[in-house]
Every structure is written in C-alpha cells, then in structure tokens.
C-alpha cells in the first residue's frame, strides 16, 4: 500500500486542445499516463492528483477526462488547479457526492492515509499576471482554505480533550495539538520565484507537515521555480506531469 502523486494531466477528451505544441513530452501524454499509472499503481494504493485535470470549461466537457482518471487503478484524491473550470470552488461537496466511491475532491476538507492526514488547496504564487493587490487577495483566500483543511484534520484527531486554541497563524507558539502527521498538497508552487519562504511554507512549518507536494510548473525553465528537497525539515516535491514524464511519483511507501 503506497501513496503517489502526479499533477497537471491536462486532459482534453472532449475539447480540442492539442498538448504536443508544448513539446515532445506531451505527445500522446494520455497514453503515457495510462501506461505508467497502470504499471506503478495498484488498487491498494492512493494517488493524489494535484490539479489541472481537464481543459473542459464545465462539468459536461470535463466528464470524459474525470472518467479517465476514475478508471485508473487505486484511490484517487483530486486537488483543484487553476484550469479546472468544472470545479466550482463552492461546490466541492457536490462533486464528492456525484463521484462517491470513484473520485474524492480535496478542498476545505482532508482525507486520511494510514496515520497521515492529507490536506491541501490550490495555493497561489505571484507570476506577474495580475496586480500584487489581486494576488494577495487570492493568496489569502487560498491560505484560509488551507488552514480550514489543516484544522479539520487536526480537530478530528483529538478525542476526549480540548483541542485548544486554533493556531494563530504567524505566531511563534503554533504547534498543532494531537499527534497528527500531515502531507500538504498544493497545485501552485509553495513560493513565488526567488522567495526564501512564503505564508504557505510557514503554514506547513507551523503544522509540522512532513512533506509539501505541488505541480503547475511546466518545461525545464520552470522546474526550479520553487523548493525541491528539504527546507527547514520539510520535504518539497514537484510532481508536474511533464516533470515526471507522466510517471506517478512515490510519496510514501
Ligand atoms: Fe496550473
């Protein structure tokens, strides 16, 4: 039984969006996904798919892409990416009900994997595409969603004792109560280019996350946009589909 992750499958079974214009690695990438996933992942494993699943502009246009993922082996937990138009942020619960037993959707909630809590949100980093004020607004909304995810997991792990105050984000004494272990998932990289830390990395540290797993970065020029390897005791992993040549990455044995 293992935990894997991969992101940015960018499927388009219902809409015309050829991906091989982005380089050879994208040629027939859905066939590679199918092949490598079936080779590595069994029905006893769990795969977190870190966003940008589908080019569809609504649920109907994304249905075939989601069905493709649902048919792959293992338990599938999906995170929201910036291109996932089918996923109304306010309707995560509805998606969880519609795909119950086939796909699970991670936002404002959490999922258990052995003795780990899998938490996450889309995240955000500054890419120069909007004003800094707008960036901060979106980032703060994502931080709140991440905090809700951590808190839901943290509170659920505490029985028979008071959970204590909600960790005041940014303060020194943040230490989660209970004995939860966390793996934190983001779609966007945890830092903007050049940053040595961010509110996302500080939240990962505050809750004592063991690993932070993210994707979104495409092409060699972007693979080093953010952390890879150990920073302040947390292991950071990039799992963009093209970075992995579409082989699901082992997160926990
Ligand atoms: Fe993305």
The pLDDT of residue 174 is above 90: no
| Å from CA of 188 to ligand 1 middle | 6
Strands 3-6 and 116-121: unpaired
Sheet (strand 234-238) strand order: 111-113, 116-121, 181-186, 211-214, 234-238, 229-231
| Å from CA of 126 to ligand 1 middle | 13
| Å from CA of 79 to ligand 1 middle | 11
- The Cβ of residue 176 has, within 10 Å, a number of other Cβ atoms equal to 23
pTM: 0.91
Confidence of residue 179 (pLDDT cuts 50, 70, 90): low
**What is the DSSP secondary structure assignment for residue 14, as one 8-state letter?**
S
| Å from CA of 4 to ligand 1 middle | 19
Where does residue 252 rank: exposed (0-12), middle (13-18), buried (19+ CB within 10 A)?
A: middle
The set of residues, in sequence order, having a beta carbon less than 8 Å from that of 179 and lying 6+ positions away, is 157
| Å from CA of 216 to ligand 1 middle | 4
Q: Residue length, the chain? A: 253
| Å from CA of 125 to ligand 1 middle | 11
Among candidate residues 219, 242, 238, the one with its CA nearest the CA of residue 28: 242
| Å from CA of 99 to ligand 1 middle | 23
């050829």: which residue's tokens? 18
CA distances from 6 to 121, 165, 234 (A): 15, 35, 19
Average pLDDT over residues 217-229: 95
Tokens of 148: 């809700």
Backbone conformation region of residue 125, classed left if phi is above 0, alpha if psi is from -120 to 50, else beta: beta
DSSP labels for 68-134? HHHHSSSEEEEE--TT-TT--GGGHHHHHHHTTTT-EEESSS-EEETTEEEEEE------SSS-HHH
Average pLDDT over residues 136-148: 97
| Å from CA of 112 to ligand 1 middle | 25
| Å from CA of 160 to ligand 1 middle | 41
**In the prediction, which pLDDT does 160 show?**
38
| Å from CA of 241 to ligand 1 middle | 11
| Å from CA of 124 to ligand 1 middle | 10
Confidence of residue 15 (pLDDT cuts 50, 70, 90): confident
């109560």: which residue's tokens? 177
| Å from CA of 51 to ligand 1 middle | 7
| Å from CA of 144 to ligand 1 middle | 20
Strands 211-214 and 229-231: unpaired
Q: Which CATH architecture has domain 3-252?
A: 4-Layer Sandwich (3.60)
pLDDT tens profile 28-54? 999 999 999 999 999 999 999 999 999
What is the dihedral sign for C-alpha 20, 242, 35, 122? negative
| Å from CA of 115 to ligand 1 middle | 29
| Å from CA of 153 to ligand 1 middle | 26
| Å from CA of 83 to ligand 1 middle | 6
| Å from CA of 213 to ligand 1 middle | 14
The set of residues, in sequence order, having a beta carbon less than 8 Å from that of 21 and lying 6+ positions away, is none
**In the prediction, which pLDDT does 180 show?**
82
For residues 29 and 5, what is the distance between their CA atoms, to the nearest angstrom?
Answer: 16
């Amino acid at each position: 039984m293992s935990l894997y992750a991969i992101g940015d499958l960018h499927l388009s079974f219902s809409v015309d969006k050829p991906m091989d214009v982005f380089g050879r690695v994208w040629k027939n990438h859905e066939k590679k996904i199918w092949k490598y996933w079936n080779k590595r992942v069994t029905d006893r494993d769990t795969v977190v798919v870190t966003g940008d699943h589908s080019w569809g502009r609504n649920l109907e246009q994304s249905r075939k892409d989601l069905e493709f993922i649902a048919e792959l082996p293992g338990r599938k937990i999906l995170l929201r990416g910036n291109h996932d138009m089918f996923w109304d942020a306010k309707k995560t619960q509805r998606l969880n009900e519609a795909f119950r037993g086939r796909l699970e959707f991670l936002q404002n909630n959490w999922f258990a994997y052995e003795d780990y809590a899998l938490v996450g949100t889309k995240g955000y980093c500054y890419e120069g595409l909007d004003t800094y004020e707008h960036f901060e607004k979106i980032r703060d909304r994502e931080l709140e969603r991440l905090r809700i995810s951590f808190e839901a997991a943290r509170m659920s792990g505490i029985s028979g004792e008071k959970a204590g105050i909600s960790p005041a984000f940014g303060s020194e004494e943040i230490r989660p109560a209970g004995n939860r272990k966390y793996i934190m998932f983001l779609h966007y990289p945890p830092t903007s280019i050049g940053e040595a830390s961010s509110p996302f990395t500080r939240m990962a540290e505050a809750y004592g996350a063991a690993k932070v797993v993210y994707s979104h970065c495409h092409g060699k020029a972007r693979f080093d946009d953010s952390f890879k390897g150990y920073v302040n005791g947390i292991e950071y992993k990039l799992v963009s589909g093209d970075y992995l040549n579409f082989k699901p990455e082992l997160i926990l044995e």
